[in-house]
Amino acid sequence: MRWFDPVAAALAGPALILMLIFLIGPMVVVILLSLTDYQLGAASLSFVGLHNYAEMFGDRTFQKSLANTLIYVGVVVPCSVLLGLGAALLIEADRRMRGFYRAVYFLPVMATLIAMAIVWEFMLHPQFGVVNLTLEAIGIPGQSWLQNPSLVLFTLCGIGIWQSIGFNMVLFMAGLTAIPSDLYEAASVDGANRALDRFRLVTWPMLGPVTLFVIVITSIRSFQVFDTVQVITKGGPNKASEVLLHTMYTEGFSFFRTGYAAALTVIFLLFVLALSALKVFVLDKRTHYA
């Protein structure tokens, strides 16, 4: 057995070079910058070791943004996964309107999120927004959805769920079409005649790989929430909607503290790597693959 194959190296070389330039290289640069006091546009920099990380964990803004990000992920991921699965099951059950419902649910995924965030900002306006007008029409008092510190984060969670349902629905529909029909026939022969029994015994176990993929992808996408925060709330009021990616952007491009922003980026990457490791080493072992 040869340790080096020139043909294999030639075939893999372009991909490895691109990975080094666009993935590994920038990651190494960010890690090195996080150990310096570099400011954007400065002619020089100094090595400060772990000072940025020590400052970060004593920074109340970082603590708030991290807590808000975890809350956002904790709300958006389970809700969007369950609703995406429910939408996929309902569409598969009603084959006559399948194309229409696919388009309706997938529309938020295709739309530009910044444009949709502006639309949501008008819809949630406390005086003439359609949400409050609708609530008041049925006798429920309207709320200051984006100005109330106790409501704004969960309002953004609702927008995130609305935006993620269609993407998750399409993935679950792909998983549903891959389930062999003879499994349902065998389950029916064994006495599983109710829809709930067929879902519990056949559909849910066979959707294990798709569900795992959806959970991981949705978690990573939720950690990357930025557009709606930047467009609608700017992290306010009083940091109530501040999230990790917005803090990175503010520190790097508003305060020009590139070294500190790089340290925040490293922490963000660690969370993403932790999610990937959770998938590989824990969830994969508990997932049924046909």
For residues 171-198, b (16+ Cβ closer than 10 Å) or e, as one string? bbbebbeebeeebeeebeeeebeeeeeb
Predicted confidence at residue 12, as pLDDT, reads: 84
pLDDT for 208 beyond 60: yes
Asked whether the beta carbons of 288 and 208 are under 8 A apart, the reply is yes
Higher-confidence residue: 268 or 283? Answer: 268
Predicted confidence at residue 282, as pLDDT, reads: 67
Model confidence band, residue 197 (pLDDT cutoffs 50, 70, 90)? confident
- Arithmetic mean of pLDDT, 22-35: 91
pLDDT for 150 beyond 60: yes
Tokens of 119: 């639309």
Cα gap 76→168, rounded to integer Å: 12
* CATH number for region 61-286: 1.10.3720.10
Predicted confidence at residue 199, as pLDDT, reads: 85
Q: Average pLDDT over the chain, rounded to whole?
A: 87
Predicted confidence at residue 185, as pLDDT, reads: 80
Burial of 120 (0-12, 13-18, 19+ CB in 10 A): buried
The percentage of the chain sitting over the pLDDT mark of 70, rounded to a whole number, equals 96
Cα gap 119→111, rounded to integer Å: 11
pLDDT for 286 beyond 70: no
Higher-confidence residue: 264 or 193? Answer: 264
The percentage of the chain sitting over the pLDDT mark of 90, rounded to a whole number, equals 43
Q: What would the pLDDT profile of 126-139 be if each residue is shown by its tens digit? A: 888 899 999 999 98
pLDDT for 222 beyond 80: yes
Main-chain phi, psi angles of 141, to 5 degrees: -65, 140
Tokens of 247: 């803090």
Predicted confidence at residue 151, as pLDDT, reads: 94
Domain residue ranges of the chain, discontinuous segments joined by +: 61-286
Neighbours of 21 (CB within 10 A): 10
Tokens of 257: 């503290």
Model confidence band, residue 284 (pLDDT cutoffs 50, 70, 90)? low
pLDDT for 245 beyond 90: yes
Q: What would the pLDDT profile of 50-101 be if each residue is shown by its tens digit? A: 999 999 988 999 999 999 999 999 999 999 999 999 989 888 877 777 777 7
Predicted confidence at residue 70, as pLDDT, reads: 94
- Arithmetic mean of pLDDT, 232-260: 92
Cα gap 37→44, rounded to integer Å: 9
Predicted confidence at residue 113, as pLDDT, reads: 79
- Arithmetic mean of pLDDT, 125-152: 91
pLDDT for 287 beyond 70: no
Predicted confidence at residue 101, as pLDDT, reads: 77
- Arithmetic mean of pLDDT, 168-181: 88
Predicted confidence at residue 29, as pLDDT, reads: 92
Q: What would the pLDDT profile of 253-265 be if each residue is shown by its tens digit? A: 999 999 999 999 9
pLDDT for 288 beyond 60: no
